[in-house]
Structure 1
């Protein structure tokens, strides 16, 4: 895909947030689009946001379960960036008017105290580079019209990120085996899902290691101060105006969000 097409499609997706009008899936219009093309569109979209004064604060990792990878016919996760205007305070209601088809995922976020530069990054490297971890909700969404979405569509659309809600407590990961960190996810006071950290690539830090090693192929590294949300422990939960959700993690505390 040539640079002018990449830039045009990035601008088209970015403008959805201003116009409120979703666009047709890229894979329908460009059947030969590749994953590399999709990441190029994503990067061009980031540059547009930075030109408008937004600041990158980290990254998200998606498709971290075998089931989701099989659904999209891929063999590895995907990733997207997080900008400062995507982060919502826990006591701030999430506005449904800013979303199209929002769904909620429960994740563990990593705050880095030093850079991670692949290749060769391991789980131990990630844990040594981590200032702390915290509970997190990711509100995934799509800027596309209704229809079947392929992985290239999702990647170009910042890996389907909408907003990120962070829990208030930062916990050291040194004494916690995140594989066995339990999660209870509630919607409107009813338990919807339970899970453990091993649902994310066997260990949430393995997801962060994958990202560091993947970015190395593009000559990019994770930075000190980056916030990395490592992938959902549960299937995404649909929400409507008036709903409230809470994710409670063993030893990490909880994070909640309400929608209006």
Structure 2
């Protein structure tokens, strides 16, 4: 038998992850249950979940890039980023209480969000194409979560688990891309009034724009275009910080302003 997963195993793995969402209990690493699974299989599991979510009425509103920093790639033993889908149900309003009980093991990351005004269809997308496609940028907080017990994830686990996506909070003040140098833009992350992390846009593949280009050229051959109105999260500028009931988290990005996430108790 060839290594990898058959269609039945892909559906079973997607079922396991969906049960973790519904039951509120993380599952053991998929790579332990399916030791022959590879990155290609992991994306098949992710796509199977997206297919089911959209069949249930949710809508794809963008994508996220994960493992975009050198430190995260070293930690995971990989040499490239990964991606996940952002569904409409993942977006939360700034300052409105976010139900923390909807997550299993939430952590939060500061990011720059690209909002597209033009379609990006890879392969062959350049930085110039990406710049022309971005309508505006916003400060953002991404809530990452894992359906895998104790965040004990391999690259296969995180990709299968929709790149450990959980939620998104967008700032409300759009800024033109040309008004800020994203490579040099510094950010601070406060939780409960305490400074817990600092970073800069250059931590994300040298520039968050490079992550947007990588994403368009990676998903294009799979028949996925980045559509006008889509939100793209290019990767965290700092390490991920755990969040707890009642936390208020604020990130400020130089040139972009701030965004606040409030979690209920």
- Fold match, TM over 0.5? yes
1:107 aligned onto 2:111: yes
- Secondary structure of 1:232's counterpart equals coil
Give me the whole-angstrom Cα distance separating, in 2, the residues matched to 1:3 and 1:92: 41
Tell me the equivalent position of 2:166.
162
Give me the whole-angstrom Cα distance separating, in 2, the residues matched to 1:147 and 1:171: 35
Tell me the equivalent position of 1:234.
238
Within 5 Å, give how 1:96-245 maps onto structure 2: 96-146=100-150, 148-245=152-249
How many residues align? The count is 260
Q: Please, which moves more after superposition, 6-15 or 37-46?
A: 6-15
Give me the whole-angstrom Cα distance separating, in 2, the residues matched to 1:215 and 1:41: 15
- Secondary structure of 1:178's counterpart equals coil
Deviations 1:152-183 (A, max 9, x none): 00000000011111111111102321111121
Deviations 1:196-241 (A, max 9, x none): 1111100101101000011123132211111101100000011111
1:143 Cα deviation after fit: 0.8
The TM-score with structure 1 as length reference comes to: 0.97
1:147 Cα deviation after fit: 6.0
Give me the whole-angstrom Cα distance separating, in 2, the residues matched to 1:126 and 1:72: 28
Tell me the equivalent position of 1:44.
48
Tell me the equivalent position of 2:60.
56
1:42 Cα deviation after fit: 0.1
Give me the whole-angstrom Cα distance separating, in 2, the residues matched to 1:147 and 1:201: 23
Tell me the equivalent position of 2:34.
30
Give me the whole-angstrom Cα distance separating, in 2, the residues matched to 1:96 and 1:225: 27
Give me the whole-angstrom Cα distance separating, in 1, the residues matched to 2:252 and 2:62: 23
- Secondary structure of 2:98's counterpart equals coil
Instruction: Mark the CA change 1:147 to 1:167 in structure 2 (over 3 Å): closer, same or farther.
Output: closer
1:97 Cα deviation after fit: 1.0
- Secondary structure of 1:174's counterpart equals helix
Where does structure 1 differ by over 4 angstroms across 4 or more consecutive aligned residues? none
The TM-score with structure 2 as length reference comes to: 0.95
Tell me the equivalent position of 1:80.
84
> Where does the alignment leave 5 or more consecutive residues of structure 2 unmatched?
none
1:87 Cα deviation after fit: 0.5
1:127 Cα deviation after fit: 1.2
Of residues 240, 260, 263, the one that matches 1:256 is 260
- Is the Cα–Cα contact under 8 Å of residues 11 and 48 in structure 1 kept in the other structure? no
Q: Please, which moves more after superposition, 177-186 or 143-152?
A: 143-152
- Secondary structure of 2:177's counterpart equals coil
